[in-house]
Amino acid sequence: MKRKFTFYKKNIIKTLEAQPHRLFKTKELAQLLKIAPAEYSELRTATRRLADENLISKYKSNRFRALKPSSVLEGKIEVKAQGFAFLLMPEGEEDIFIGPGNIGLALDGDLVKVQLFASAKGRRKEGRVVKVVERQRRYIVGLLKQGKHYYYLVPDDPKIKRDIFVHESDLNGAKEGQKVAVEIDYWEDEWMNPEGHVSTVLGYPGDVGVDVLSVVTAFNLPLTFPKKVEHEAAKRTADIPQEVINSRLDLRDQMCFTIDPPDAKDFDDAVSLEHLDSGNWQLGVHIADVSYYVKQGDTVDTEARERGTSVYLVDRVIPMLPEHLSNTLCSLQPLKDRLAYSCIMEVTPAGDVISYKIMETVIRSKRRFTYQEVQKFWDNKKDIEPEFIEPLNAMATLSRTLRHNRFRHGSLRFETPEAQVILDKKGVPVEIKRRESLASMQMIEEFMLLANQTVTEYIESLKTEYGTPPFVYRNHDKPDSKKMGEFIEFLGAIGVEHKLGGRMTSSKLSRFMNSIAGSDKENIIQSILLRSLMKARYETMNIGHFGLAFKRYTHFTSPIRRYPDLEVHRTLKNYMRHGWTEEKREALTKRIEDSCDQSNERELVALSAERASIKMKKVEYMQAHLGDEFDGIISGVVHFGLFVELTDFLVEGLVHISDLHDDIYEYDDKSYTLHGTTTGVKFRLGDNIRVKVVRADPHESVIDLLLIDGYKKKRVNKDKTNKKRKKNNKNRSKNHLKKKG
């Protein structure tokens, strides 16, 4: 069984720290850790990686020793809107708390050095920022205002607590009341405000598109491609040389088609399904062969790697590749010859893959379907061409089997409702509705998951005495025991029964999630569980995917919009054409690791930008509902109030504790409650309450709510009545038994 990097990390460091003054060679560590010869190369790679990450010390002749304890740590800082911050530590380690007065000159996301304070045993470590190593954000976006003697920027981001002074000579044409992007020029004293200049004038807050443009600028997202990238991409043509077609498996006559959202333009996957004489199925997952057009290290590739991913904002897509490639040459358009990289699997009716081949192909999609079209066909609400009836029905049957198997083996089922904001032509939100989860979508998801798994099975088959070759894995580590302990405490606090004690496994969590399916607390429990799990990451050493309950997993199916998938395609082709040797491991690992790190970072930026753009439009939509009352569920309990999700719109707002006038409330972070010291009123995570919308500011992305008077008290009094009734019933039962006795 392949040992995981987390195993190496834990045990190498533990072994070195047991003898902190001794230098060890890798072979000595292998003997102490009882590493099998076949896994020695993995140990060596892990040891070098730990040294590169400054987790252990490396000396001449490849000897290693434990690090000397340091009171100064370096990492990224995450500032909270409440004013405090955390130094983010590696997964599995507790983040370092930084109080509001110890953040210094750091802004959210900056790379900083933090001096640790002496800490009491058993308490969270704390520290203060002593140096900003590198600024994360180039621009600060906000509203320009004019004071008596100066102009200043009020940042949109609530995590930035300082206004930025702007001298009149640095306005660059900006006017008071406009949204602008400012770059900081001078800030050397934490007791003084930073000074900067206006870099970009975005427009007045009410102008069309300015709100989303503010998000784009704040996250430093590129709206256009450099001219040299566009020029280079334009050189690629749709003509496929005959020698290229001859070198590939020609599947142009095969019945394959794409199924995508209605507004999709980049079709990067097509599917096919054929019945074999053996009774099995041949499932084809055909992926756009982006690596044919985008060569490693060229101008287009460098730009794509820098972007890392396409970003899907509420009103636009910021693509990873120029449109000529993403929407035309690489897109698997119907009735056009296209180059693909295909994973063709023989699957039994029971859903088991018994053989497969991964090949460069040329295909010709026979039709472009939308998810809604396929769903309407299955629901007998739409007729389609006869030649597609059998394959679509067979695909439905097979996908149901695959989905059933996946959940039976422990894959976690997360079906939290997701909001879709509908905009008019001017970008004004006119509707918020729940995003559909159709069986047609689930079918494509199952086929992509199966292809991704199968590709990693191929990589595993390349394992030699030197180990498995370097590769891009999509890892999801098992949850941290402390976080899961807190999750179990939360379940106890809200009165939910479970059997989650002992070692946590995907299967155990999956059974629990099935047990609460359909309950009124399902969504809030899913939300808290998601916060308790690790984040999925791209890494070169496989540790498996906990959430999917897969032993190994990668991303192979979306190279038009995700750079790791493009890296996977290149790596697969390289191994298939040239094989691999131990001599190549170090260079390959370094290149792929750098690519993974970049992709992980860009993925987080994209996710944050997408959420920010959607939240902004949600808040704008709620401006039309000021004064209206709604039912909601308490989605967060903090010391300064209650976050409430409005059931109708999946929009979250805040009931501030200062607006709870009827009592003095105490916050219990273990039970996620605010407790009234006099009335006994309790506000718990997951409680249903009714609120009124009193403020909606899209520029600050804030919605303020007020609790409807008496709503919660009535429920509490009802609870007390029920408890009293239960007590009386219990006493009556005892008296009845005494009489019978």
Please say whether the beta carbons of 218 and 139 come within 8 A: yes
Look at residue 1 in the predicted model and tell me its pLDDT. Answer: 35
CATH for 36: 1.10.10
Same domain, 402 and 470: yes
Q: Which tops the pLDDT comparison, 737 or 551?
A: 551
Residue 732 lies in a domain: no
pLDDT digits (tens, 9 = 90+) for 355-374: 999 999 999 999 999 999 99
Same domain, 562 and 522: no
Look at residue 716 in the predicted model and tell me its pLDDT. Answer: 42
Strand partners, 27: none
Q: Which tops the pLDDT comparison, 727 or 66?
A: 66
The Cα–Cα gap between 196 and 182 comes to 6
Please say whether the beta carbons of 67 and 44 come within 8 A: no
pLDDT at residue 6 is higher than 80: no
Across 493-562, the runs of DSSP E, i.e. the strands, are 537-539
pLDDT at residue 732 is higher than 50: no
Residue 274 binned pLDDT confidence (cut-offs 50, 70, 90): very high
Of 19, 40, 66, the domain-final residue: 66
Residue 402 lies in a domain: yes
Look at residue 741 in the predicted model and tell me its pLDDT. Answer: 35
Which two structure tokens, joined as six digits, stand for 442? 């689930």
Please say whether the beta carbons of 298 and 570 come within 8 A: no
Which secondary structure element, helix H or strand E, spans residue 420, and what is its range? Answer: strand 419-423
Look at residue 37 in the predicted model and tell me its pLDDT. Answer: 80
The Cα–Cα gap between 142 and 181 comes to 7
Same domain, 657 and 524: no
pLDDT digits (tens, 9 = 90+) for 670-684: 778 899 999 888 898
Residue 67 binned pLDDT confidence (cut-offs 50, 70, 90): confident
Look at residue 671 in the predicted model and tell me its pLDDT. Answer: 77
Of 610, 639, 668, the domain-final residue: 610
Which secondary structure element, helix H or strand E, spans residue 14, and what is its range? Answer: helix 5-18
Q: What percent of the chain has pLDDT over 70?
A: 94
Same domain, 467 and 500: no
pLDDT at residue 733 is higher than 70: no
Short-list 390, 409, 391, 392, CA closest to 351:
409
Residue 656 lies in a domain: yes
Please say whether the beta carbons of 160 and 149 come within 8 A: no
Look at residue 519 in the predicted model and tell me its pLDDT. Answer: 84
Lowest-confidence segment of 68-72, 356-360, 400-404, 545-549 by average pLDDT: 68-72
Residue 496 binned pLDDT confidence (cut-offs 50, 70, 90): confident
The Cα–Cα gap between 410 and 405 comes to 9
Look at residue 361 in the predicted model and tell me its pLDDT. Answer: 98
User: What is each CA distance from 703 to 80, 155, 627, in whole angstroms?
Assistant: 17, 17, 12
Q: DSSP string covering 126-162, please?
A: BEEEEEEEE-S-S-EEEEEEE-SS-EEEEESSTT--S
Short-list 109, 138, 209, 224, CA closest to 605:
109
Same domain, 601 and 704: no
Please say whether the beta carbons of 314 and 423 come within 8 A: yes
The Cα–Cα gap between 167 and 150 comes to 6
pLDDT at residue 336 is higher than 90: yes
Residue 4 binned pLDDT confidence (cut-offs 50, 70, 90): low
The Cα–Cα gap between 495 and 484 comes to 17
User: What is each CA distance from 256 to 335, 363, 366, 369, in whole angstroms?
Assistant: 10, 8, 6, 11
Same domain, 643 and 669: yes
Which two structure tokens, joined as six digits, stand for 11? 């045990």
Residue 61 binned pLDDT confidence (cut-offs 50, 70, 90): confident
Residue 219 lies in a domain: no
Residue 233 lies in a domain: yes
Alpha helices in 82-132 (DSSP H): none
Q: Which amino acid does the sequence have at 516?
A: I
Same domain, 508 and 657: no
Each residue of 102-126: b (16+ CB within 10 Å) or e?
bbbbbbbbbebbbebeeeeeeeebb
Lowest-confidence segment of 56-65, 590-599, 690-699 by average pLDDT: 56-65
Residue 538 lies in a domain: no
Q: How far is CA 236 from the centre of its chain?
A: 33
Looking at residues 703-731, what average pLDDT do you find? 56
Short-list 542, 559, 562, 564, CA closest to 551:
542
Please say whether the beta carbons of 396 and 375 come within 8 A: no
CATH for 160: 2.40.50.700
Look at residue 656 in the predicted model and tell me its pLDDT. Answer: 93
Q: What percent of the chain has pLDDT over 90?
A: 62
Look at residue 76 in the predicted model and tell me its pLDDT. Answer: 92
Q: Which tops the pLDDT comparison, 144 or 687?
A: 144
Antiparallel, parallel or unpaired: β 111-116 and 127-134: antiparallel
Same domain, 382 and 440: yes
Looking at residues 680-695, what average pLDDT do you find? 91
Look at residue 69 in the predicted model and tell me its pLDDT. Answer: 66
Looking at residues 599-618, what average pLDDT do you find? 95
Look at residue 92 in the predicted model and tell me its pLDDT. Answer: 63
Residue 730 binned pLDDT confidence (cut-offs 50, 70, 90): very low
Rg (CA), the chain: 29
Look at residue 91 in the predicted model and tell me its pLDDT. Answer: 66
Lowest-confidence segment of 200-204, 590-594, 690-694 by average pLDDT: 590-594
Short-list 460, 456, 444, CA closest to 287:
444
CATH for 633: 2.40.50.140
Residue 730 lies in a domain: no
Looking at residues 714-728, what average pLDDT do you find? 43
Please say whether the beta carbons of 270 and 258 come within 8 A: yes
Q: DSSP string covering 346-401, please?
A: EE-TTS-EEEEEEEEEEEE---EEEHHHHHHHHTTS----HHHHHHHHHHHHHHHH
The Cα–Cα gap between 284 and 347 comes to 10
User: What's the mean per-residue pLDDT of the chain?
Assistant: 89
Of 95, 117, 134, the domain-final residue: 134
In the block, residue with structure tokens 């298939």: 576
pLDDT digits (tens, 9 = 90+) for 526-583: 888 988 898 999 998 898 999 999 999 999 999 999 999 999 999 999 999 988 887 8
Please say whether the beta carbons of 625 and 506 come within 8 A: no
pLDDT digits (tens, 9 = 90+) for 241-253: 999 999 999 999 9
pLDDT digits (tens, 9 = 90+) for 307-334: 999 999 999 999 999 999 999 999 999 9
Which two structure tokens, joined as six digits, stand for 434? 């729940």
Short-list 50, 598, 568, CA closest to 288:
568
> Other C-beta atoms within 10 Å of 204: how many?
12
Report helix, strand or coil for 314: coil
Please say whether the beta carbons of 184 and 140 come within 8 A: yes
pLDDT at residue 604 is higher than 80: yes
Same domain, 451 and 571: yes
Short-list 193, 185, 140, CA closest to 162:
193
Same domain, 692 and 630: yes
Q: How far is CA 273 from the centre of its chain?
A: 31
Residue 514 lies in a domain: yes
In the block, residue with structure tokens 């756009």: 288
Which two structure tokens, joined as six digits, stand for 563? 């750079």
Antiparallel, parallel or unpaired: β 419-423 and 429-434: antiparallel
Sheet holding 85-87, edge to edge: 96-98, 85-87, 72-79, 111-116, 127-134
Q: Which tops the pLDDT comparison, 610 or 189?
A: 610
Which residues fall within 8 angstroms of residue 221, CB to CB, at 6 or more apart? 311, 318, 605, 609
| Structural domain range at position 427 | 227-476+543-610
Residue 483 binned pLDDT confidence (cut-offs 50, 70, 90): confident
Structural domains in the chain (count): 6
User: What is each CA distance from 393 to 256, 377, 388, in whole angstroms?
Assistant: 14, 10, 9
Same domain, 681 and 703: yes
Same domain, 451 and 568: yes
Which two structure tokens, joined as six digits, stand for 443? 């079918």
Report helix, strand or coil for 313: coil
The Cα–Cα gap between 233 and 230 comes to 5
Look at residue 129 in the predicted model and tell me its pLDDT. Answer: 93
